[in-house]
C-alpha cells in the first residue's frame, strides 16, 4: 500500500515520507492477495487467469530449450537488443496476420509479457492527472499500471456487445468539459477480462472513429483474441486504424505465461520511444525465453495447439455455464463468453462479493470480487469466475460450493425463506445492457 504507515509484517515503515508521490496509487491487488489462499489444493480456485498448460509438449520443449543453450548458448545467455530478437519479431507479425494486422517487424517491440507493454505505454503517455478511459470493469493489471503513473481511469459502460460507443462519447465530453486531458482509450476488445464480452463488429469502426476525432490514442490489449470458441478470428482494431492504435500481444494465454514474452505493435514514432523506455526499464527482454518462443513457433504446430486450447476452454466454459444454471440461486445473472477465460456474475442486492470472499474460501472456493476491476468503487455485486484452469468436474464442484455460500448470505437467506422453495426456470444470462 502506498503511504501505508506499517510494513506488511505490522511494523512501522521507516521509509515513510521518502516514497515518491506516485506510490500513493500503488495498492495491493485484491486478486494477487488471493493467490496464496486460492492455490491451496482443497480450494477450487475460480479466481486466477492461469492458462491450462498440461496440453503443452513438455518433453519436447525441454529438449528444445537444452539444445538452444548447448548450440546457441553464447547468444541465448547474452544481452541483446531492447527491441527484441529480429526473427521473433517476424514470427510475431505472422501471428498477428491471423487477425488481419499487416505489421512490419520493425514496428514490433518484444516485452516481458504484455503487462510490461502496458507499463511502457503508460510511462510514455501518462502525466499525473491525465485521464485514461477504459471499460468498466477493466483488467486489474492495467488499472495498476495507469495508477502507477498517476493517471485517472474513467470507466465507460460495457454491455453484452462490449464497450458502449455512446458511453465513450459521454465520458470524453464530460472529461473535456471538466478541462481534463484524455490521453488513451484502454480496451480489451476480445473475450474481455473480466467481463467475458466481445466488442461487436459494428462497433469497432465507431469506437475508432470517436477516438480519432477526439485525439485519443487507442490501446488495444488482446491476449485472448485467438481463443474464440467458434474458431472465428475478429479483426484487430489495429487492422482498422493502424496509425491510431497501439496493439499489445502476448504468448501467455496461447503458449506459456512463465516465459513472460509479449509484445507491443505501435505506430513508428511511438515504437522508437518504446524501445528507449524498454531499454531504461530492463535493457533487453530475456534472450533465452525469446529463443524458446521463436523455436516453438518455428518447429511446432502452434496453430493446431491453439485449436486444441480452444476446445479445452470451450468445454470448461460450457461446464461453468451449465453449473451456474443448475446451482446459482435466483437473482444471479452472468455473461456468456464466446472465448477467453472469464464469466462475469452479478449477484442479488444485499450481497457484497468482497465481504463474502472469506466465507467462500472457508467453503473451499475462490473467485475474484468485482470491486478490484473498477477505480470508482463499483462492482460490489459482481464477481469474476475463471474457467481456464480447473477441470470441468472441479468447476462444477466449485460452483456448487459457491452457490451454497451465496444461499447462506443473509440477504438471500431472508429472501428465500420469504419466497419458499423453488427456482426460476430458464437461462439467466446477464441481460445485454447490464454488464
In the complex, the residues that contact ligand PLP under the rule CB under 6 A are: 49, 113-115, 139, 141, 188, 193, 221, 223, 250, 252, 257, 262
Q: Half-sphere exposure of residue 339, counting CA atoms within 13 Å on the CB side?
A: 26
Give min distance, CB of 223 to ligand PLP, in A: 5
Give min distance, CB of 285 to ligand PLP, in A: 12
The answer to whether the CB of 291 falls within 8 A of the CB of 120 is: no
The smaller minimum CB distance to ligand PLP, of residues 277 and 363, is found at: 277
The smaller minimum CB distance to ligand PLP, of residues 188 and 406, is found at: 188
Give min distance, CB of 42 to ligand PLP, in A: 25
The smaller minimum CB distance to ligand PLP, of residues 186 and 327, is found at: 186
Give min distance, CB of 422 to ligand PLP, in A: 38
Cα–Cα dist 233/17, whole Å: 50
The smaller minimum CB distance to ligand PLP, of residues 25 and 113, is found at: 113
Residues with Cβ < 8 Å from 177, sequence gap 6 or more? none
Give min distance, CB of 138 to ligand PLP, in A: 9
How far is the CA of 67 from the CAs of 63, 213, 295, in angstroms? 6, 51, 10
| Chain center to CA of 430 | 20
Phi, psi of 181, rounded to the nearest 5 degrees? -105, 115
Closest CA to 319 of 372, 269, 390: 390
DSSP state string for 288-336: HHHHHHHHHHHHS-HHHHHHHHHHHHHHHHHHHHHHHHHHSPTT-EE--
Cα–Cα dist 293/249, whole Å: 14
Phi, psi of 370, rounded to the nearest 5 degrees? -65, -30
The smaller minimum CB distance to ligand PLP, of residues 111 and 329, is found at: 111
Can you read off the three cell numbers belonging to residue 153?
481511469
The answer to whether the CB of 285 falls within 8 A of the CB of 119 is: no
Cα–Cα dist 114/95, whole Å: 15
Give min distance, CB of 417 to ligand PLP, in A: 40
Give min distance, CB of 67 to ligand PLP, in A: 25
The smaller minimum CB distance to ligand PLP, of residues 331 and 340, is found at: 340
Give min distance, CB of 384 to ligand PLP, in A: 10
What is the enclosing helix (H) or strand (E) of 247?
strand 245-250
The smaller minimum CB distance to ligand PLP, of residues 139 and 146, is found at: 139
Give min distance, CB of 147 to ligand PLP, in A: 15
The smaller minimum CB distance to ligand PLP, of residues 141 and 228, is found at: 141
The answer to whether the CB of 248 falls within 8 A of the CB of 118 is: yes
Give min distance, CB of 18 to ligand PLP, in A: 29
What is the enclosing helix (H) or strand (E) of 245?
strand 245-250
Cβ atoms < 10 Å from Cβ of 220: 27
The smaller minimum CB distance to ligand PLP, of residues 187 and 353, is found at: 187
The smaller minimum CB distance to ligand PLP, of residues 188 and 430, is found at: 188
Cα–Cα dist 13/107, whole Å: 44
Q: Half-sphere exposure of residue 285, counting CA atoms within 13 Å on the CB side?
A: 30
Amino acid at each position: 500500500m502506498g503511504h501505508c504507515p506499517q510494513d506488511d509484517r505490522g511494523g512501522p515503515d521507516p521509509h515513510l515520507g521518502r516514497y515518491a508521490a506516485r506510490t500513493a496509487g500503488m495498492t495491493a491487488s485484491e486478486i494477487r492477495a488471493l493467490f496464496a489462499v486460492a492455490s491451496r489444493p482443497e480450494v477450487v480456485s475460480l479466481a486466477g487467469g492461469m492458462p491450462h498448460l498440461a496440453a503443452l509438449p513438455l518433453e519436447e520443449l525441454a529438449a528444445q530449450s537444452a539444445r538452444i543453450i548447448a548450440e546457441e548458448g553464447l547468444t541465448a545467455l547474452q544481452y541483446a537488443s531492447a527491441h527484441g530478437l529480429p526473427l521473433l519479431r517476424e514470427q510475431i507479425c505472422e501471428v498477428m496476420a491471423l487477425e488481419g494486422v499487416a505489421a512490419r517487424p520493425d514496428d514490433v517491440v518484444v516485452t516481458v509479457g504484455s503487462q510490461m507493454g502496458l507499463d511502457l505505454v503508460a510511462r510514455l503517455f501518462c502525466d499525473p492527472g491525465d485521464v485514461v478511459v477504459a471499460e468498466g470493469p477493466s483488467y486489474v493489471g492495467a488499472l495498476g499500471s495507469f495508477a502507477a503513473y498517476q493517471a485517472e481511469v474513467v470507466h465507460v459502460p460495457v454491455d453484452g456487445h462490449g464497450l458502449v460507443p455512446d458511453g465513450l462519447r459521454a465520458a470524453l465530453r464530460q472529461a473535456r468539459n471538466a478541462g481534463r486531458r484524455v490521453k488513451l482509450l484502454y480496451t480489451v476488445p476480445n473475450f474481455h477480462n473480466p467481463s467475458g464480452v466481445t466488442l461487436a463488429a459494428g462497433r469497432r469502426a465507431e469506437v475508432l472513429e470517436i477516438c480519432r476525432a477526439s485525439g485519443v490514442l487507442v490501446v488495444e490489449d488482446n491476449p485472448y483474441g485467438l481463443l474464440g470458441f467458434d474458431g472465428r478470428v475478429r479483426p484487430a482494431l489495429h487492422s482498422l486504424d493502424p496509425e491510431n492504435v497501439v496493439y499489445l500481444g502476448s504468448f501467455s494465454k496461447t503458449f506459456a505465461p512463465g516465459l513472460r514474452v509479449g509484445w507491443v505493435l505501435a505506430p513508428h514514432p511511438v515504437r522508437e520511444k518504446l524501445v528507449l523506455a524498454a531499454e531504461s526499464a530492463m535493457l533487453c527482454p530475456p534472450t533465452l525465453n525469446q529463443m524458446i518462443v521463436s523455436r516453438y513457433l518455428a518447429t511446432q504446430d502452434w496453430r493446431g495447439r491453439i485449436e486444441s486450447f480452444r476446445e479445452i476452454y470451450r468445454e470448461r466454459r460450457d461446464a461453468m455455464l451449465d453449473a451456474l444454471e443448475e446451482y446459482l440461486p435466483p437473482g444471479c445473472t452472468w455473461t456468456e463468453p464466446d472465448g477467453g477465460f472469464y464469466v462475469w456474475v452479478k449477484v442479488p442486492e444485499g450481497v457484497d462479493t468482497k465481504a463474502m470472499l472469506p466465507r467462500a474460501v472457508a467453503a473451499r472456493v475462490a473467485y475474484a470480487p468485482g470491486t478490484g476491476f473498477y477505480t470508482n468503487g463499483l462492482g460490489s455485486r459482481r464477481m469474476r469466475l475463471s474457467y481456464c484452469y480447473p477441470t470441468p468436474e472441479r468447476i462444477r464442484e466449485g460452483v456448487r460450493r459457491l452457490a451454497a455460500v451465496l444461499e447462506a448470505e443473509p440477504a438471500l437467506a431472508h429472501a428465500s425463506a420469504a419466497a419458499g422453495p423453488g427456482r426460476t426456470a430458464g437461462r439467466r444470462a446477464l441481460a445485454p445492457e447490464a454488464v
